[in-house]
Structure 1
Amino acid sequence: MTTRTLTAKPPTRSPRSRRSSRETPGRRRLGPGRARYAVLAVLLVLALLVLAPFLLVAINAVKTPSEYASGGPLSLPSALHLSGLIDFWNRADFGLMLLNSFLISLGAAVIGVVLSTLNAYAIGIGRLRGRGALLIFFLIANVLPQEELVYPLYYAAKSMNLYDTRTSLIIVFGVIHSAFGAYLLSSVYGEFPRELLDAASVDGAGRLRTLWHVVIPISRSTLTVLFTFFFIWTWNEFFFPLVFLVSNSKQTVPVALGLLQGQNMMDVTTTSSSALLGILPAVLFFLIFQRTISRGITSGALK
C-alpha cells in the first residue's frame, strides 16, 4: 500500500492584492496624469518667477510719474502712457544705439561661427596633430576673465588704428566666441559619421567642398544655436564696448543706458522705459530663433 503525501499549496494572490500589500499606509503613488500636472504646475511657477521682473519693468514703463508716486511699482496703469519711452528714445538717440549694437552683434556672431566651424573641422574631422593641446588652449581661453584680456587688446587696437571703431569689437568678440564654439563643435565633429566623409571622398570632393556640402548642412542646427548665443552675448556685453568705444555715435545699447543713467537724473518711469527698450530687442531675437534652438538642442545637431 502506497502512501501519498499531500502538500498544501500557498494561496495565490492576485496582482492587485500584491500591489496593495506593498503600498505603505499614508503613501500613494501619483498616476502619470497627476505627475504630469504637478510638473507643469512647478514649471509654470518657475516661468512666472522668471517673467515677473520683465513684466514689472513693462508695467512701470507705461505709467506716468504721478501714477508711480501714488500707486507704487505694483499698481496697474490707468492707460498706456508712452511719453517715457518717447522721451528716452529722443534723449539717447536710441535708434543709432540699436543700429550699432545690431551691426556689432551680427558681425561678431558671423565671425565666431565661421572660425568655430573651421577650427572644429580641422580638429574633430581632420584629426589635426596636437588636437589635445589645442582643445586645452580653447578651454583655458574660455575661463579667462575679460579683465585680463582688455589691456593687451586695447593696445593692439590702438596700434592698428582700430580703436573707437565698431570693427575692433567685431573682431574681438568674434575671436573670443570662436574659442567656445571650437571647443563645443570639436566634440560634435569628432563623432561625425565617417561613411558620409568617405562617400564624399570617393566622389572626388576636396576638404572645403566636403565641409560646405556635407558637414555644414548636417550641423546646421548646432551652428544656428551658436549664432543665436553669440549674438545675444555680444548684445548684452558692457565692459568691452565701454573701453573700446568713446564716441557717443558709436556706443552700444548697454553702454548708452549705463552712461545716461549715470549722468542724468531720470524718474523711475523713464528708467523703466530705458530698461525695457534695452531688453526687448534681445528677447525678440531669442523668440524668433526659439524653435531652431530647441531643435538643435534636442537633435544633437546630427541627424
Structure 2
Amino acid sequence: MWQEERYELNDGHFLPKIGLGTFQVRGAQGVNQILNAIQSGYRLIDTSTNYDSEGAVGEAIRQSDLPRSAFYVTTKLPGQYHHFDDALKIIEESLLRLRLDYLDLYLIHWPLPKRDNYIEAWQALIEAKKRGLVRSIGVSNFEKAHLDKIIKATGVVPAVNQNEIHPYWPQKDLVAINQKYNILTEAWSPLGRGNQAELSEATIKILAEKYNKNNGQIIIKWLLQRGILPVVKSASPQNQRANLNVFDFQLTSDDMKQLDQLGRADGRVDNQDPKTYEEFV
C-alpha cells in the first residue's frame, strides 16, 4: 500500500509521503471531505489554527474508527502567539479543538521577521516537545536566514520546513538548503492553488499523456522525486484518490529537467514573501 511510502525525519519519526491539506475545510461538510480522504488512504492531515479546520479534522479522525496511531496530524502556530507562554497555551488549545492527546508535527506558520519573535516561538516548540505535547517540531515559510537564526540560538534543527513549491515556484535553492540541514521539505499549494494556466502548461500535458496520468499527478510525482512531501487539498473523492495514485511510474531525468524549467521569477501564488509577509494578522 502507498501508506508504506514514508519519509524519515531527522528526529527519527516518520511521515507518509503525501499529506492532505485542509485550508478552510470546515463544519459537517469539511468532516465529510476529510472522511472521504481517509477512506481513500490519506493518513497525514495538515491543518492550522488559522485554517479554522482543527475541529473538523479531529471529528473526522474520531468518526473514521481507525486508531489514533494510524494518523499523522500537523497543525501550526499563528503569528499573534509567538511569545513563549502564548505559544504553549495555543498548542494546548489546538489539542483541545482536535480532541487529541498529542500532535505528530507542529510548525511555526510564518517567521514574521518584522516582529522578530520567531526564536522565542521556536523555544516554545522545543519545550512543547519536551512536555510530550508534540512529537516533531518544524517551521513553515522559513528561508535560510530564519533557519540559521533559530538553529544558532537553540542548537535544535527543525524536522520539517513547509514552503510554497509548485512548477512556477520550484524553490531549488531553498530545497537544497533544507537538504543540507537534513530538514524534510513539504510543499504547500503544490498544484498552484488550481491555477489552470500552470496546470495546463504544455510540458505538463505532454508528460501526462506520456504516462497516462492527469496533470496534477505529474506535478506530485515531480515533487516526490525531488524528495519533497506535497500537501494536497481536494474536495473531490475522485481527485483525492488520483493524487495518491502516483507510485506506479517514474519520471525520467529529462522529464524532471523540463518541469524544473517552468519556474518563473514572479511565480508565487499570492506574492507571499516570507521576508515581509504578515500572515493573517
TM-score normalised by length of structure 2: 0.23
The structure with more radius of gyration: 1
Task: Name the one with the larger helix percent.
Answer: 1
Greater relative contact order, per chain length (Cα 8 Å cut-off, separation 6+): 1
Task: Name the one with the larger strand percent.
Answer: 2
